[in-house]
Structures are given as C-alpha cells and as structure tokens.
Chain A
Amino acid sequence: MLAKRIIPCLDVKDGRVVKGVNFVGLRDAGDPVESAQRYSAGGADEITFLDITASHENRRTLFDLVDQTASTVAVPLTVGGGVRERRDVSELLHAGADKVSINSAAVANPTFIRDMAEAYGAQAIVVAIDAKRIPGETDKWTVYTHGGRRDTGLDAIAWAKRMADYGAGEILLTSMDRDGTQDGYDLVLTRAVVDAISIPVIASGGVGTLAHVRDGFAAGGADAALAASIFHDGHYTVAEVKEYLLDQGVCVRPPERN
C-alpha cells in the first residue's frame, strides 16, 4: 500500500535555514545540508528546500546546497523559490533536485507549467499554491503570490484543477492563514483541493502537534504532509511523528533503525 509521506521543509535564505510566522520575522534555524541529512536519517520521505533569498547573486549558494544535499541524501529533494524561467528549472535539476516547485511564475504564465512538464516530466514539476481564505467566506480561498504579498484574485480550487490539467505532477498547498501558527492544517481547504484533482496533494501550513499531521491525512485526505517548525524547533523528530502515525493506523514508511 502506498505510504503517506512526511516531508520536512527547510526555508533557506542566503544559505541558512530560517523560520518565521506568516512569512515575516525570520530567525536562523541551522545549516540546510546538515538538517536534510538528519531528517533523512530519521525517516523523512522527501526533503523540500524553499529558497527565499532575495538577491540573484546568492543563487549560486543555493545550487551548492542542492548539490551537497543530493550527494549525501538518498531521498527525493524538491527545491522551490524564485523559479521563473526554464533556465531556473534546468539549473536546479542539474544541481541534483528531483523536483522543482513553481509558484508565482505559474500564475504569471500558466503555460510555463505545461512546457516544463513536457520538457522534464510531470514528476519533476510541483506547483506551489499559497491560498488564503476570503474574509467572511467559509469555503472560498484565493491564490497569493510573491511570498504571500500579492492577492491574485484567482480561486484556489479552480487554479489547482487548471494546474493539474496543465501537467503539474503534484500540488504543494499552503494555507496562508495557518502558516507558522501551529493551529493545524486548514483541513477544509485541503479536502476541497484533494477532492477536486487527481494528482497528489501535499498539505502545508500550520502543523503544531502530532494530531495535526494525522488530521491532514485522515480528514484532509492529503497524500503528503509538509512541516517545518515542529522539526526545526526540536519538538518532534521525524521518527516520533511516524511512530505516532503508525499507532494511529496511518500507513507510513516506518523509520529504519540503523
């Protein structure tokens, strides 16, 4: 039976892991390569780097990190942030990323996703959707871009469907309302997107407890759970999350005891 995946996410800025709340108030959380190695050893099913480096000059630092990580970590590596054109995708894949996550550039030019899926295979193309609930609505969300600063007005569910139709391999769905709050995934949003499309959905934004991860799978129906702060802050190891999920009857790949 296909296992639900646990994916630690590392927000990377200028070569360091950082963590903030709602994309602001960043603080240092360690070395990305060491963190990726530790998570992988603990049973992480994949690793995701989200690069939030502002300057183009520091892009080379990211490629080095990706190369070092891919050389030493034998689980799939997804890298996103600042991917705007074909060259960005190609450079990240050549540095050793298995998948590239694309956000703002998909909104600016949706056919970019189709072109990239045709060029590199759907399995290499993840579309990241930052969704925020419309104030006063219970089941309507719009898509935000540019690190959560710009409301595109696009309906998040319709956008997820369109991206799946355009050949995205997976959707990385982040709730802007929950990100960094540790209040749990937006389960209504997650379920709505999962039910709308036939490609895997990675739930993101808001995990604070073990039960939140379980709920993302059980109630949200997600295929994978992405989390950052519960791992970086040392609240839980990946192995502890997996032991809990196994206890709760969720199918996950058990951590290896080596």
Chain B
Amino acid sequence: MTTGRVAIVDLGLGNLHSVAKAFERAGANAELSSDPDVLLRADRLVMPGQGAFKECAHALAGEIGEAVRSWIDSGRPYLGICLGMQVLFESSDEAPGEKGLGVFSGSVKRFATDLRDAEGGRLKVPHIGWNQIESTHPVFENEEWYYFVHSYYCVPDDESLVVATTDYGAPFCSAIARDNVLACQFHPEKSQHAGARLIGHFLGDVSWS
C-alpha cells in the first residue's frame, strides 16, 4: 500500500507507541512529531488521545493547534482518536472554561453516574472495554466491536456529523465524519481486526463525508 507519510501529533502527554505501531502494521510510514513543519509536510495527520482535555487544550493553544486547524482547512485526511476527536469541539465538561479547536460546534459531556443497562444493571464510568457501533457509513461495518476507554463523549450541534453511535445506557456519538475529517471515540489501534480495517480505510482513497 502506498500511503505517503503519516504524521502522528505528539503533544508530549502520553505514550503514542501503540498508535504508531498500528499504522506500521498497516504498512504506513508513520512518524511521531510535535514540530508544526513536520506535521504540515505529511500526507495524513493522526491526532491520538493523550492526557486530559485541559492539558490537551493547553498544548494545542499555540502553533501546533494552528497547524492542525490549517491542516484540516487544507482538505487533507485527518483522523482523531478519543481525545483527538473531543478536541475538535468547542468545550468539555472535563475542563470548564478551556477551549478546544472549535473545528465543529458542540461540546463534550460526561456520562451520567446513574446509567443503567437494559436489565437494570449499574453501568460504570469510565466506559472501559469492547462495545459495538451502529453505523451505515462506508468506512465502518455495522455492529463492529471496538475497544473504548473514556468517561466523556462528543455532542455535536450538527447531528449529521454523527456517523456511528454506541449504546451505553443510551446511544452516544462514537464516530463523526465530514469531508476530510474522520474521528472516533474508540481506539482503532487496540481494536484488533476492526481497528486494522478502519486504519486501512483511512490510508486508502475513501472519501468519508
């Protein structure tokens, strides 16, 4: 597969080896970087989950954030994972007052602590483990299983951004897509075959709007 160069945004807030390894397994030439020039020279950009919303927002307040915004404006492929999805929005319950990139309008909410499953069982927060997505979008297969680790989820103002939902007490937005931007709450790098398929789609020539 010729995928060009994949730059993985490294904000210095977490261990990104598993993300890099997942792209290498998919045949990509992947590079971790915090240098805006390096990021902007790549062919595809990946923003993995790292740190908490506050630290992530602070790290993106400077020139890296500008680089990411201009990347997205340029129409080249962007994949956001977990917090890399959440920071595309304006704000988060996790860090009131902190600003996300604001690429999309909407916010990030915390799961309620009194969630119950269909049988009345208490649901725990964080939502940790494998859960299914419901999607009719071409980059996903309906009812695929993905690995999740999170306490917060995105609530876009524009519901047409949502391309996958997952049930945890109630359906929440587990993936969005618009033009060149694809972002998911789950971790494709930890989701075995399903994750490898999604990364393959991202590296391919699929348009995901």
What is A's interface to B at a CB cutoff of 8 Å?
1-5, 40, 45, 70-72, 74-76, 93-94, 96, 98, 120-123, 169-170, 198-200, 223-224, 253-254, 256, 258
Q: How far is the CB of A202 from chain B (nearest CB, A)?
A: 10
- Chain A nearest CB from B113 CB (Å) reads 8
Q: Shortest Cβ distance from A226 into chain B, in angstroms?
A: 13
Taking CB as reference atom, which chain A residue is nearest B192? A74
A2-B168, A5-B130 known; A74 vs B149 contact (CB < 8 Å): no
**Chain A nearest CB, measured from B101 CB (Å):** 21
**CB-CB nearest 9 A-B residue pairs:** A253-B130, A253-B145, A3-B130, A123-B149, A93-B15, A74-B192, A2-B131, A71-B21, A76-B190
B129 and A74 form a contact (CB under 8 A): no
The segment out of B2-10, B120-128, B201-209 that lies at the interface is B120-128
Does B160 lie at the interface of the complex (its beta carbon under 8 Å from any beta carbon of A)? no
Chain B interface, number of residues (Cβ within 8 angstroms):
36
B119 and chain A: residue at smallest CB distance:
A1
A45 CA to B194 CA, complexed, in Å: 13
Secondary structure of the A contact surface, majority rule: loop
With the chains together, A152 CA to B83 CA distance in Å? 39
Check if B190 sits within 8 Å of A75, measured CB to CB.
Answer: yes
- Decide: B124 and A1 in contact? CB cutoff 8 A: no
Option from A5, A74, A224 in Cβ contact (under 8 Å) with B196? A74
A123 in contact with B18 (CB, 8 Å): no
Q: Complex Cα distance A253/B194, Å? A: 12
Query: A74-B25, A98-B18 are known contacts. Are A122 and B126 too (CB-CB below 8 A)?
Result: yes
**Are B129 and A224 touching (Cβ within 8 A)?**
yes
**Minimum CB–CB distance for B147 against chain A, Å:** 6
Q: Judging by beta carbons under 8 Å apart, are A199 and B124 in contact?
A: yes
Q: Contact partner of B17 among A3, A70, A170, A224, CB < 8 A? A: A70
- Nearest-CB residue, chain B, relative to A4: B129
Which of A40, A45, A169 lies in contact with B126, CB distance below 8 A?
Answer: A169
Set of chain A residues within 8 Å of B193, measured between Cβ atoms: 74, 256, 258
**What does the 1/0 interface line of B133-170 toward A look like (CB < 8 Å)?**
00000000000010101000000000000000001100
Task: Indicate the member of B127, B147, B168 with the most A CB atoms within 10 Å.
Answer: B147
- List residues of chain B with CB within 8 A of the CB of A94: 15, 17
Query: B18 touching A70 by the CB < 8 A rule?
Result: yes
| Chain A residues, Cβ within 8 Å of B118 | 1
| Pairwise interchain contact B52-A121, C-beta atoms closer than 8 A | yes
Would you call B191 and A1 a contact (CB within 8 A)?
no
Most buried by A among B130, B190, B195: B130
Complex Cα–Cα for A19 and B55 (A): 42
How long is the Cα–Cα vector from A120 to B50 in the complex, in angstroms? 9
Known contacts: A1-B167, A223-B124, A253-B130. The answer to whether A74 contacts B15 by CB under 8 A is no
Q: Which residues of B contact A45 (CB under 8 A)?
A: 129-130, 147
Bound-state Cα–Cα, A179 to B199, Å: 40
Q: Apart from A74-B25, A96-B18, what 14 extra A-B contacts exist at CB < 8 Å?
A: A2-B117, A2-B130, A40-B192, A70-B17, A74-B189, A74-B193, A75-B191, A76-B147, A94-B15, A96-B21, A98-B18, A120-B14, A223-B129, A253-B145
Q: State in angstroms the CA–CA spacing of A74 and B22 once bound together.
A: 7
Inter-chain contact B117/A1, CB cutoff 8 Å:
yes
Give Cα A4 to B121, complex, Å: 13
Q: Which residue of B lies closest to A90 (CB)?
A: B15
Ordered by A's residue number, 28 sampled pairs between the chains whose C-beta atoms are within 8 Å are A1-B131, A1-B132, A1-B167, A2-B123, A2-B127, A3-B129, A3-B131, A4-B129, A40-B192, A45-B147, A74-B22, A74-B189, A74-B196, A75-B147, A75-B192, A76-B147, A94-B15, A98-B190, A121-B14, A121-B52, A169-B128, A198-B113, A198-B124, A199-B124, A223-B124, A224-B129, A254-B145, A256-B192
Judge whether B192 and A200 touch: CB under 8 Å: no
| Cα(A45)–Cα(B130), bound, Å | 8
What is the minimal beta-carbon distance from B134 to any residue of chain A, in angstroms? 12
Q: How far is the CA of A223 from the CA of B192 in the complex (A)?
A: 20
Task: Give the one of B17, B24, B122, B191 with max A CB within 10 A.
Answer: B17
B187 — nearest CB in chain A belongs to which residue?
Answer: A76
Q: Which residue of A lies closest to B21 (CB)?
A: A71
CA–CA, A129 and B51, complex, Å: 27
